[in-house]
Structure 1
Amino acid sequence: MTTTTAIQASMRGEHALPLRPPSQVMDLERLGAMHQSRLSFMRTLIRRIMRERWAIEPIKFELDADGYGTVIYEVQAPNGLYSFVLFSDYLSPEERNDRVIATKWDLTMALVEGRVEADYLEQLRQNVPKQEAGRVDARVFVLSRANRSARNFDYVVEQLANGQQPDIERIKNVGYLYRTTAVYGSGKLGMADWEKVRTKHLDFARPFAGEMFVCLMLRNFSLLQAEHIARHRSPQRFQPMQDEIKRYFGIGNSTGLGMAPYLVNHPLLINQWVEMRELALARIRALGCVNSRVQQELSSLIERCAQHTRDTVTEDDWQTDNNRQVLEDLAALQQHTAAGFDNWDALLGWSEANCSLQGQEMLVSIALEIYPELVDELEDFHSAEENLDLDPLMPLQELKQIIETRYAWALEIDFTAEGARETCWYRSEEKMEPRLGSVADAEAKQKQMALGVGYAVSKCYEQLCGYIAEHPEHTTARFMVARPKMRGIVRRIQSMSRCVYGDIQANLLDRNILPMHLLRCKLAFFGVGKFDPRSRLWVRNTMFQGAPLLEDIGKPFSDDWFMPLAPLQSGQH
């Protein structure tokens, strides 16, 4: 029984849930129109920390007056003890570089199994600040680094040192004090691999939970460090930052092409993420009651999303147009529901007829926000066994039928058209970053990554049809012996036939491919906001804006930081 079937069967008296078809959901442009939701990994991590009341305390806090030094937090979670180790070092202006190829940073940090003793701390100190140039052991399961925001950090310190609060309007433009440039896990540089984390460290056994936690801790430290420096700079005049302003600060993130291949190379996992989101939506369509409270909450969330969008600053024309369209969609949605509505299925259908993809997916996120009782339990089903298994006994006629049905989208693409196979995805040896190039570049073509799933399926189908014409009764095993280069794509086709979603239905080799859609999709699952593309290849964004502070753990928690709004500016001290 699949995860979806099991969850559906557990719901009493319900009919088959109306999941949206993969041809709609896995369209690349729609994936790039997704927004954060209550199933995003930042939200689910915060809910877990608050519900389980994790004890997170600094046991070593050795910073000088300028904020440089070493900090260790111990994290006592229900299933284990962990340490968050952070090194703060001086970074000269000429050494400052936010690219993944930088060699020095303002902060470097690691999430570590167990308690960190003096000798192990020294070992970490010799390696963590070097990041890729260093080497760590399997006690470490996340590494990261971050640089100060040139636009915000010194300004905020100066304000606090002068007994004043940061200006809210200024924070709207840049809602963070630090920006991380990479967060590494899953076995890189000697760290614990995902299998160890998943089986041994149950508190971080959900996808990217450790990485998200490190970003949360970085956000907490950024606020603590700014206050620390300001207090030492002016002990008499210093005033701490107000909590509501602290919560409005997140962590900045710069994401480039490195994320894009992940969505293609982990289809079973992506299927699971998408399926849980779609199952949540299907539950709401089928079971979500509509009353005056729901109508009022919908109206409030529409206005919140509109204000959040208005507060999003970008110089990118494409993103500016997207934001403008979302505002128009939200205004139309507000007007359409002003007299009330009584059916989510009809409302979602109306949005598909009257709103852009961005607006449609915003409504999906809003709907999930209103029904935690139908949605939140699905957060436990975001992992997947990622084995792509070959079925050698499958009759070739059955394999052909799978391609014709599940991969009809790939067969409809004309790969002989001009520009249809012009883009080449490759990994730069010098920069160690994925790149987009042209197949005309011989060196790039030689190093290209196998991301053209649609083209691979098309080639496989062509060879399969020719083979079946001569050997109609053969099995997949015989075809594999005759066409061994097809083994990888056949394994993928057979494995994905057991899933609902997973494969992105687009030609990623087309000259006009927009990688931003891939980045947006993965970042939306993470839970980021304030998208600000800097080119078609990388985007700035903000993480954990509006989230609770560490000092909020143990206090009443309403989990209401979806699309956070700026606090009202109170009087200065």
Structure 2
Amino acid sequence: MNETGRHIARRDPAQVMRLSRLGSLHQCRLSFMRQLTRRMAREEWTFTRPVFAIDANGVGHAVYTAQGPDHAYSLVAFAHDLPPEKRSDRVIAEAWDATFTLFDGVPTAQDIERLGQNVPLQEAGRVSEHELSLSRANRSVRLWAHVVDRLADGQQPDLDQIYDVGYLMRTTAVYGSGKFGAADREKTADRPELSAPFQTEMLSVYLIRTFVRDLVQHMARAKGGENTADLDPKIARRLGIGNSTGLGMAPFIVNHPILFNNWIMVREEAIARVRSLPRASDAEIAQFQNIFDRSTLSISWWRSEHPVQIRKLADMTSDIQAIASHLDGDALTQDAPWDRLITWAEEALSEEGQELLASLVLEPYGDLVDGLASCMADSNTNAQIIDGAMPVSKARELILNNFEWALALDWAAEPNCARAWYVSEEKLEPRLGERFEEPIAEYEQPLAPARDAAAAYKALADWHGDIPIREFLLQHPEHRHTIRRAQIGRIAPYGEIRDNTISADVMPIDMLRAKLSFFGATHFDPRSDRWVRICMYAGAPYPEDLTNDTADTWVYPEPAA
């Protein structure tokens, strides 16, 4: 409650679900990586490395086992001596510096032999229901060589280069949920440690990071022998795992409206709860100020060569200065401090700065907001069933609720339908093409819900409002997916993007960033409007250092002593 005893409502979906704002989201304490590290520390997971069979050329395999209260999970890693000309982040690549699978349990020698014949092949191989994920990674060649050489010479790596790149390897795919024969999510969804979204993938990447640290140390020792230095643990902590993510991720948030709604609605509910607090204690103010100061350090390390991100980083720099000046006053000692702060930000800051603050205000209030994480999965299997008895008038109303902005657009105008989503024949991966320049229209995927909603609304215009919607759909089955989405909107108010996903100026990287922010990614670096590099787990404790004290705010770097 604020000073008037009023609970602040969640922000309007019409404000939150614009692509420019979704493309400005930041990680927060509800992010999937931080959920996992908190759980592993709280439940006192144990970690072992039963196998590390890597030769002096960096070729071989290793096994890292994470043991939770009820289940064990093992990363089986394969290291390869990849010629430079074969190193590519593109999905069409056929070889990588390292390949991985997360095994359900502890693999036997026979399991490892089977996996060794398949995991390095990735799409060309097959795994089984005993495997939960399949992934691959490439070295950051410049930083990898630098770290190996410096350690082999008995020296530590240059910190500027560590901060500039941030990772020794970057994954180019982390597949889960049944791809290439791996276990379906249903196999593990009822396990508490994997019930939240993407916990399998987050555990895979956490263990990959440990393997990469061990591998670079191994390669340095193979080169330098007795003179090799051990990588300083403080430097190792700053190294995350990079990730190259392209268009394959963008359709996910369109195709999973309930799941995406749950992520956004939980975050909005957390923000609303904090905004409703009547006052902040001295300790809470101090904690927020500390996290803000540490976040400014992280942002100072954020680099990009993409024009859009360069502008956003410039805005962020101005926003940071404005926030710091604002906090120097009495902003947090008044009644309803967090509501006042968010309200001020909406007038004074860019969307980047607004969403940064919206994430940071949650940090002092784990007891208030962390429990919401249990609401982020999608367990509503009945929501996909169309209610055929719904009157046409109600269906029209639901379309209007989510897509009123779209009904006024001229969908025949080329700028409003310039793009088309399709699936490539070669790799079965989503692509975005130019509708009027390429012969792709007949292969278009249903990833333009706004256009389709406008078409359905127009088709419904001449139907009497009392007629059941099933009668309309019998004559117009092409509108089934729109009616389904409209009905889903009753329970998923944040399920629809309030922007045109096929316009001439759509930025798919906004969709990528929205999803990746919930993973907990930082330092988004777009390489075009269609793919982005990020960093994961930078600053996180390695297994041997994972405790309740280190498991949470690791994403905010501590200033150097």
Question: What interval of TM-score do these two structures reach, taking the shorter chain for normalisation?
Answer: over 0.9
What is the deviation of 1:555?
6.9
- Alignment check: 8 A CA contact 1:38 1:562 kept: no
Query: 1:302 aligned to 2:292?
Result: yes
1:223 offset after TM fit, Å?
0.7
1:307-355: CA deviations, max 9, x gaps? Answer: 2222112112221111111111121111112122222111111100111
Kindly state the Cα deviation for residue 154 of structure 1 after the two structures are TM-superposed. Answer: 1.5
Match among 277, 281, 287 for residue 271 of structure 2: 281
Is 1:40 aligned to 2:34, yes or no?
no
- The residue identity in structure 1 corresponding to 2:492 is C
| Secondary structure class of the residue paired with 1:19 | coil
Corresponding position: 1:249 with 2:239: yes
Question: What are structure 1's unaligned runs of at least 5 residues?
Answer: 1-7, 9-13, 569-573
1:311 aligns with 2:301: yes
Matches of 2:89 and 2:400, distance apart in 1:
45
- Paired with 1:16 and 1:313, the residues of 2 have a C-alpha distance of 39
1:415 equivalenced with 2:406 (yes/no): no
Instruction: Quote the offset at 1:465 in angstroms.
Output: 1.1
> Do 1:496 and 1:502's aligned partners in 2 also have CA atoms closer than 8 Å?
yes
Query: 2 CA distance for matches of 1:483 and 1:93?
Result: 54
Give deviations 1:528-561, integer Å, cap 9, x for gaps.
1111111111111111101111111357436222
Tell me, yes or no, if structure 1 residue 426 matches structure 2 residue 417: no
**1:407 counterpart SS class:** helix
Residues 297 and 559 in structure 2, CA contact (< 8 A), matched pair in contact too: no
Aligned 8 A contact 2:541 2:551 in 1: no
Task: Compare 422-431 and 276-285 and name the one that shifted more.
Answer: 422-431
What secondary structure sits across from 2:550 in the alignment? Answer: coil
Distance in structure 2 (CA, Å) of the matches to 1:183 and 1:357: 30
Match of 2:323 among 329, 333, 341: 333
Tell me which residue corresponds to 2:445: 449
Find out whether 1:506 has 2:502 as its counterpart: no
Change (3 A) 1:68 1:313: same
Question: In terms of mean alpha carbon deviation, does 442-451 or 167-176 score higher?
Answer: 442-451
Q: CA deviation at 1:371?
A: 1.5
Check 1:290–1:412 CA distance in 2 against 1; reply closer, same or farther (3 A cut): farther
1:461 equivalent in structure 2? 457
Q: Which amino acid in 2 is paired with 1:453?
A: P
Mapped to 1, the partners of 2:527 and 2:326 lie a distance apart of 35
Q: Secondary structure at the match of 2:416?
A: coil
1:99 CA drift (Å): 1.0
What CA distance in whole angstroms lies between the structure 1 residues aligned with 2:54 and 2:278?
51
How far, CA to CA, are the matches of 1:492 and 1:463 in structure 2?
Answer: 16
Counterpart secondary structure, 1:178: strand
Q: Is contact 1:56-1:73 (8 Å) kept?
A: yes
Deviations 1:90-117 (A, max 9, x none): 1111221121111111111100112211
CA distance in 1, matches of 2:175, 2:166: 23
Counterpart CA distance in 1 for 2:343 and 2:50 is: 54
Aligned residue type for 1:445 = A
**Retained in 1: the 8 A contact 2:422–2:445?**
yes
Specify the SS of the correspondent of 1:221. helix
Residues 54-69 of structure 1 aligned to structure 2 (within 5 Å): 54-69=45-60
Residue 538 in structure 1 maps to residue 534 in structure 2:
no
Which aligned pairs between 1:102-121 and structure 2 lie closer than 5 A? 102-121=93-112
Pairwise CA distance, 1:232: 2.7
Displacement of 1:51 in angstroms is: 1.0
**Alpha-carbon spacing, 1:31–1:150, altered in 2? closer, same or farther (3 Å):** same
In structure 1, how many angstroms separate the alpha carbons of the residues matched to 2:184 and 2:560? Answer: 41
Question: What is the rounded CA distance, in whole Å, between the counterparts of 1:438 and 1:229 in structure 2?
Answer: 46
CA distance in 2, matches of 1:485, 1:286: 44
Q: CA deviation at 1:360?
A: 0.2
Aligned equivalents of 1:419, 1:259: Cα separation in 2: 24
Query: When the two structures are aligned, how many residues end up with a matched partner?
Result: 553
Q: Secondary structure at the match of 2:461?
A: helix
- Give a deviation string over 1:187-238, Cα, whole Å, max 9, x none: 1101111112213x44222211111111111111111111112223223212
Which of these residues, 379, 391, 397, is aligned with residue 373 of structure 2? 379
Kept in 2: contact 1:168–1:566 (CA 8 A): no
Q: 1:441 to 1:388 in 2, by over 3 A?
A: farther
Q: What is the aligned counterpart of 2:175 among 178, 184, 199?
A: 184
Matched residue, 1:361:
355
TM-score (norm 2): 0.95
Counterpart for residue 571 of structure 1 = none
**What is the DSSP-based 3-state SS (H/G/I as helix, E as strand, rest coil) of the residue aligned with 2:439?**
helix
Counterpart of 1:437 (choices 426, 429, 433) is 433
CA apart distance, 1:362: 0.5
1:560 and 2:553 matched:
yes
Structure 2 spans left out of the alignment, 5+ residues: none
The alpha carbon displacement at 1:242 in A equals 1.4
Displacement of 1:374 after TM fit?
1.3
Alignment equivalent of 2:343, drawn from 327, 349, 352: 349
SS at match of 1:219: helix
TM-score (norm 1): 0.93
Name the SS for the 1:151 alignment partner: helix
Q: Secondary structure at the match of 2:400?
A: helix
- Residues 1:295 and 1:412: Cα distance change in structure 2 (over 3 Å): farther
Q: 2 CA distance for matches of 1:485 and 1:323?
A: 43
Please state whether the residue corresponding to 2:52 is helix, strand or coil.
strand
Structure 1 CA distance for aligned equivalents of residues 472 and 547 of structure 2? 60
Tell me the residue number matched to 2:80. 89
- Contact kept, 8 Å, 2:277 with 2:338, in 1: the verdict is no
- For 1:145, give the aligned amino acid: R
Per mean C-alpha deviation after superposition, the further-off stretch among 146-155 and 230-239 is 230-239
2: distance between equivalents of 1:222 and 1:332? 39
C-alpha distance in structure 1 between counterparts of 2:370 and 2:387, whole Å: 35
Map of 1:77 onto structure 2: 68
Quick one: distance in 2 between partners of 1:66 and 1:52?
A: 38
Contact kept? 2:60, 2:78, Cα under 8 Å: yes
- Aligned with 1:487 (options 480, 496, 506): 480
Given residue 451 of structure 2, which amino acid in structure 1 is its aligned partner? Y
CA contact (8 A) 1:37 1:562 kept: no
1:377 partner SS: helix
Task: Report if aligned partners of 1:270, 1:502 keep a CA contact under 8 Å in 2.
Answer: yes
C-alpha distance in 2 between matches for 1:338 and 1:225: 46
Q: Secondary structure at the match of 1:236?
A: helix
Match of 2:123 among 106, 128, 132: 132
| Stretch deviating more after TM superposition (555-564 or 231-240) | 555-564
| Cα offset, 1:288, TM superposition | 6.3
For 1:440, what is the secondary structure of its paired residue? coil
One-letter amino acid matched to 2:155: Q
CA–CA separation in structure 1 for the residues paired with 2:270 and 2:547: 28
Between the aligned residues of both structures, percent identity stands at 40
**C-alpha separation between the residues in 2 aligned to 1:114 and 1:456?**
45
**Which whole-Å deviations, capped at 9, do the CAs of 1:397-437 have from their partners, x for residues lacking one?**
11122222232222233323341111111111124332211
Q: Indicate the larger mover: 266-275 or 333-342.
A: 333-342
Deviates more, 1:283-292 or 1:347-356: 283-292
1:172 and 1:566 in contact (8 A); partners too: no
| Aligned partners of 2:538 and 2:555 also within 8 Å | no
2:520 corresponding residue in structure 1: 527
2:511 corresponds in structure 1 to 518
Q: What secondary structure, in the 3-state scheme, does the structure 2 residue paired with 1:179 have?
A: strand
Q: After TM superposition, what 4+ stretches of structure 1 lie above 6 angstroms from structure 2?
A: none
Q: CA deviation at 1:35?
A: 0.6
Of residues 390, 398, 402 in structure 2, which corresponds to 1:402?
A: 398
How much does 1:494 deviate? Answer: 0.9
CA displacement, residues 353-383 of structure 1 (integer Å, 9 cap, x when unaligned): 1110001000011101221121211122210
**Amino acid aligned to 1:357:** E
